[in-house]
């Protein structure tokens, strides 16, 4: 597998970091590998960018809050600046 370099900031990481990954990075929302990056960058899969589960169903309000909390935890793990919780 080929290593890819990602510049990750998305306005959240100070300073931006470069990571080399042999596999696709995990999505900030669902944790699944990002096979096709969304317009939100390499850390959000196209499914989550649209609020859709990988089986094609739309997120429920409970799933939205669960995914948002997962995102916040990952951002904290990446040493990001403060993010406003919804």
pLDDT tens for 25-60 read 788 888 888 887 677 667 788 888 889 998 999 999
Cα distance between residue 13 and residue 18, in whole Å: 11
Domain extent listing, the chain: 4-77
48, burial (CB in 10 Å: exposed 0-12, middle 13-18, buried 19+): buried
Q: Which pLDDT band holds residue 62 (cuts at 50, 70, 90)?
A: very high
pLDDT, residue 17, reads 62
Which is more confidently placed, 3 or 86?
3
pLDDT, residue 46, reads 86
Contact 36, 19 (CB under 8 A): no
Any long-range contacts for 63-68 (C-beta under 8 Å, 24+ apart)? 67/29, 67/30, 68/29
pTM: predicted TM-score of the whole model, two decimal places? 0.62
Q: Which pLDDT band holds residue 4 (cuts at 50, 70, 90)?
A: low
Identify the residue whose tokens are 């499914």: 47
Cα distance between residue 18 and residue 22, in whole Å: 13
């Amino acid at each position: 597998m080929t290593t890819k370099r990602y510049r990750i900031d998305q306005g959240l990481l100070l300073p931006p970091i470069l990571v080399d990954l042999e596999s696709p990075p995990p999505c900030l929302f669902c944790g699944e590998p990002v096979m096709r990056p969304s317009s939100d960058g390499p850390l959000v899969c196209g499914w989550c960018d649209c609020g859709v589960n990988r089986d094609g169903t739309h997120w429920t309000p409970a799933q939205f809050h669960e995914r948002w909390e997962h995102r916040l935890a990952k951002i904290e793990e990446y040493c990001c600046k403060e993010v406003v919780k919804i």
